[in-house]
């Protein structure tokens, strides 16, 4: 018989997690004001709030940490990281930062002025935040197909080149500091961008004299999808594909907490020496001296090792097949999610799972609370609470999609955990006729409200 698939690693160290009772969870979620961010991690059995910084480092990464050089200037660890970035990604210049948003801060402090336009594919929240904070505009040019959750296409994270070209025609190059290409496209469901699309976007950037920035948090997962889905790439190694992807980019920002499999760290890398030099000031002011930025030596060592491991096919296959496995269990139970399964997460289509909760009572959040009550699983709402209020009218904004993201940490959980997640979702789905009430806001901040929002059960 054909042998089944199995993980390409074995487990050397474990961390205990605890199942709780429904009564305990009812009490805890009430105390947390029905905001999953307010739960203590010990109150959670399976934590899918993010795949960022939550992965398990390898024996080799831990070994590399012991060899970290903590010198303030010119540390060996800096040169180890520099070599990995040059070798694996092809960039000559970089600045270490404490995480991805810090890389955005350093870069955008260097590049953006008020009134600028930054087109891209579904900019991530912090990217958009850093752009808007500088009174510039993040213009979304993602393909329309990305918002149809049931449509199954291989590269649902792509930029629509026509939409992008219109923007590039409409504004002068001086107003467009860069195009932001996010691989994979987190906001659209961890959906990949094809090599063809990267090439097309890069060609448009060249044509209009604009730089291409690749937001690279999940670049290796993107390369896996290119290898397995795009014609002409099946026989190339992940590392070859990664080199080609970045050959089209001028700049990259990296949240290393994802595809470099570390708990903390990031960087911004440049092809142009002059831009790197200009950015140094913002790194020194906000992060630290240019040879450590926001990182300690040991973390730079672990990052360099993680970049190498994270771009190996066997690791990526294990990782992405686990996400797909969860998707296949949900298919079995008829639970709708953004198709096909993404690289790092499943985005459950909450409107289809809980059809009887009114949108004014936050459908995806309601699903999140129900899933927590069911099995102690924590995910994150990507719906009306995250969409926040209209800045002018202060009315709640109701996005077309109410999604609930289940992000899978790297190398942390087994498929038994995936089975529990799917079964818990099925139980909630089976009770959908009884779940008719959602939540009302009792307290919120004027921006980024989802982190600290307080809710109570809606009464009718």
Catalytic residues: 72, 124-125, 215, 217, 258, 450
In this structure, what are the phi and psi dihedrals at residue 321, rounded to the nearest 5 degrees?
-65, -30
Query: Is residue 50 near ligand F0G by the rule CB under 6 A?
Result: yes
Contact 409, 55 (CB under 8 A): yes
**Piece in contact with ligand F0G (CB under 6 A), picked from 97-105, 276-284, 322-330, 416-424:** 97-105
DSSP 8-class letter at 83? H
Q: Does 58 bind ligand F0G (CB under 6 A)?
A: no
Q: Which stretch binds ligand F0G (CB under 6 A): 108-116, 119-127, 192-200, 349-357?
A: 119-127
CB of 285 closer than 8 Å to CB of 331: no
Which residue of 128, 156, 211, 257 would you call a contact of ligand F0G, by CB under 6 A? Answer: 257
CB count in 10 Å sphere of residue 290? 20
Which residue's Cβ lies closest to ligand F0G? 100
Question: Which residue blocks in 311-458 are alpha helix, DSSP H?
Answer: 313-333, 350-353, 363-375, 384-387, 415-430
Q: Give dist(CA 371, CA 286) in Å, integer.
A: 39
Among 43, 61, 77, 99, binds ligand F0G (CB under 6 A): 99
Q: Which is nearer to ligand F0G, 122 or 305 (CB)?
A: 122
Q: Which two tokens stand for residue 205?
A: 């950037």
DSSP 217: T
Distance CA 360, CA 32 (A): 21
Q: What is the x/- site pattern for ligand F0G, positions 387-426, by CB under 6 A?
A: --------------------x-------------------
Distance CA 152, CA 182 (A): 20
11-19, 54-62, 98-106, 169-177 -> range binding ligand F0G (CB under 6 A): 98-106
Residue 124 touching ligand F0G (CB under 6 A): yes
| Residues between 281 and 320 that touch ligand F0G (CB under 6 A) | none
**Site for ligand F0G, residues 125 to 184, rule: CB under 6 A:** 126-127, 182
Distance CA 342, CA 327 (A): 9
Sites of contact with ligand F0G (CB under 6 A) = 50, 52, 99-101, 124, 126-127, 182, 186, 215, 217, 255, 257, 266, 407
């Amino acid at each position: 018989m054909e042998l089944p698939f199995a993980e390409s690693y074995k487990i050397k160290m474990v961390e205990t997690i605890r199942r709780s009772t429904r009564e305990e969870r009812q009490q805890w979620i009430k105390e947390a004001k029905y905001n999953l961010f307010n739960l203590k991690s010990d109150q959670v059995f399976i934590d899918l709030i993010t795949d960022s910084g939550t992965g398990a480092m390898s024996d080799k990464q831990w070994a590399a940490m012991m060899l970290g050089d903590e010198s303030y200037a010119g540390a060996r660890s800096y040169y180890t990281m520099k070599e990995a970035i040059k070798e694996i990604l092809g960039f000559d210049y970089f600045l270490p930062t404490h995480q991805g948003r810090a890389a955005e801060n350093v870069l955008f402090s260097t590049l953006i002025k008020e009134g600028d336009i930054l087109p891209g594919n579904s900019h991530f929240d912090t990217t958009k935040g850093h752009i808007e904070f500088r009174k510039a505009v993040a213009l979304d040019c993602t393909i329309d197909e990305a918002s149809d959750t049931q449509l199954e296409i291989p590269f649902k994270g792509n930029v629509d080149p026509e939409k992008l070209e219109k923007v590039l025609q409409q504004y002068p190059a001086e107003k467009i500091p860069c195009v932001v290409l996010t691989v994979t496209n987190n906001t659209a469901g961890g959906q990949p961008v094809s090599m063809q699309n990267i090439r097309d976007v890069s060609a448009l950037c060249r044509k209009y004299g604009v730089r291409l920035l690749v937001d690279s948090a999940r670049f290796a997962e993107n390369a896996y999808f290119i290898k397995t889905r795009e014609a002409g790439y099946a026989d190339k190694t992940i590392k070859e594909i990664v080199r080609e992807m970045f050959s089209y980019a001028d700049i990259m920002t990296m949240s290393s907490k994802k595809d470099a499999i570390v708990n903390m760290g990031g960087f911004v890398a440049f092809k142009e020496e002059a831009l790197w030099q200009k950015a140094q000031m913002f790194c020194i002011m906000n992060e630290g001296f240019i040879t450590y930025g926001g990182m300690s030596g040991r973390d730079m060592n672990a990052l360099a090792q993680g970049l190498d491991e994270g771009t190996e096919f066997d690791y990526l296959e294990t990782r992405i097949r686990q996400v797909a496995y969860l998707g296949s269990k949900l298919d079995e139970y008829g639970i709708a999610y953004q198709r096909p399964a993404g690289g790092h997460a499943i985005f459950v289509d909450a409107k289809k799972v809980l059809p009887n909760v009114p949108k004014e009572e936050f459908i995806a959040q309601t699903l999140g609370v129900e899933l927590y009550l069911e099995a102690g699983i924590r995910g994150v709402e990507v719906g009306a609470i995250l969409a926040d209020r209209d800045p002018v009218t202060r009315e709640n904004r109701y996005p077309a999609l109410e999604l609930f993201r289940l992000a899978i940490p790297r190398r942390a959980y087994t498929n038994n955990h995936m089975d529990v997640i799917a079964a818990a979702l099925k139980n909630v789905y089976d009770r959908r006729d009884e779940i008719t009430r959602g939540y009302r806001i009792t307290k919120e901040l004027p921006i980024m409200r989802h982190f600290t929002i307080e809710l109570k059960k809606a009464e009718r």
